[in-house]
Amino acid sequence: MNPFAKVLLCTTSLLPAIVVLPPAIFAQVDPTTVYARAWAILAAEPYVKQGFQVREDYWAGDLASGERKAVRQQLFKGNEYWFWLGTEVDHAKVSVHIYNSHGELAEQPDSWAKGHFAAAHIIPKTTGSYFIIVSVEESPAARTHWALAYGFR
């Protein structure tokens, strides 16, 4: 078989894959999740200047007013962590708290919540699983999108 025929045959056999795969490869992300994550990263900005490295992974979802979501994360003794929560919903009030595996509040007293931002700080005394509780305290929206990012040093 001549080289031109081989290329033509290979190209035409790949055509169905090229047509079918793009939707799977380029899955869309909900823009409200992107905005919520942007607010969480905005809350992290002053801490990055203090040497915290923001991790690429994050959690996101939506909650009604008064609802909570628990996220489990392995934290290591000797590191220091901040968890930053954000939402794009104006006038929403969110909070984030960190508990150890015994259900005891483990965050530092400098944790804070200001409108649609919140942050929790922890210096783990032991390596283990910790539970980060995300809450939408109040919101004008029926469902409030949120994103939780974290960093360490």
Query: What confidence tens digit (pLDDT) does each residue in 29-77 have?
Result: 677 778 888 888 888 999 999 999 999 889 999 999 999 999 999 999 9
Establish if 5 belongs to a structural domain.
no
Q: How many domains does the chain have?
A: 1
| pLDDT band for position 15 (cuts 50, 70, 90) | very low
Establish if 16 belongs to a structural domain.
no
CATH number of the domain within which 127 lies: 2.60.120.380
Q: Which domain holds residue 36?
A: 31-152
In angstroms, what CA-CA distances link 32 with 35, 84, 86, 94, 151? 5, 17, 11, 16, 22
Query: What confidence tens digit (pLDDT) does each residue in 92-149 have?
Result: 999 999 999 999 999 999 999 998 999 999 999 999 999 999 999 999 999 999 999 9
Establish if 72 belongs to a structural domain.
yes
| Pairing label, strands 93-99, 59-63 | unpaired
- The pTM is what? 0.79
